[in-house]
Amino acid sequence: MSALVTARLRLRRGSGVATTVAIRCFGAFAVLLVLLAVCAPLIAPQDPNSGDVLSVLQAPSSEHWLGTDASGRDLFSRLVSGSRTALLGPLVVVLVATSMGTALGVLAAWQRGWVDSLVGRLFDLVFSFPSMLLALLFVTVVSPGLFSAALAVSISFVPAIGRLVRASALREVNEPYVQALYTQGFGPVRLCVRHVLPNLWPVIVAQVTMSFGYAMVELAGISFLGLGVQDPTADWGKMINTGQSSIVRGFPQESLYAGIALVLAVVCFISLGDLLSGRREGGRR
């Protein structure tokens, strides 16, 4: 029996070490992506939006490291600059969705009763619409662009974050320290902001990290359809779309490079969020 217990402890310790290493690797890659986006104007060797009709669809060379697209624009410069819109849009999504979802989730958990029911019905209403369809309708009515697309996607992300926060906040508000502080005269707003919310941050961070990856896919799809980032601004989703016409001419580089960059970034953020969520569940058990 003691040998079995020891083996289980070693297995749990080993899996914890592996999780820590994976989190650090994905975290380092995410930081690298952020640095790439911030330093894009310094890294890009050429103007990503300026084309040259004499350099159309060129193969990789010392002047154009990844070649050029059908408009003669440097693919490496556009790939680096596209990281800015690829990360900026999801950042807007998670900021808006997290703010609204957290506020509604904590409100529902604290007030209970008809407020909880009303918030739940609101979440169900948004959930009843496919997120991509809701985003496309919103962008079509408002105007195509990065921020209108990000705002549309953020609306569809609010229920997922709000329900998770509500479930965690329900457990938190029933803790003895909350009741003790409330009887001492702490107001609901002060109590939630200073004591309840800090204990919900691990849950929120894990969900936000995964939502960031999903938002990248949604926004890239909208840009691919021509309703997100507009020409000539570089964007990975837009590059996948514009590179289609070059594939049949034997130059798949634009769609290929942008697709690889998008897949790597999405896998990084979703995996990081999943690992953080798993660590939180394991720690709570």
**How confident is the model at residue 4, as a pLDDT?**
39
Could you tell me the domains of the chain? 2-44+71-284 (1.10.3720.10)
Q: Where are the alpha helices (DSSP H) in the chain?
A: 2-38, 40-43, 75-111, 113-127, 131-141, 146-173, 176-183, 188-191, 197-224, 236-242, 244-247, 253-284
pLDDT at residue number 5: 38
pLDDT on residue 51: 82
pLDDT at 14: 47
pLDDT at 246: 85
Identify the pLDDT of residue 280. Answer: 57
Give the Cα separation of 103 and 119 in Å (integer): 11
* Residue 235 Cα distances to 76, 133, 181, 226, 281, angstroms: 12, 21, 50, 11, 36
pLDDT less than 70: residues of the chain: 1-15, 279-285
Whether pTM exceeds 0.95: no
- pLDDT of 15 reads 59
CA dist 221 and 193 (Å) reads 36
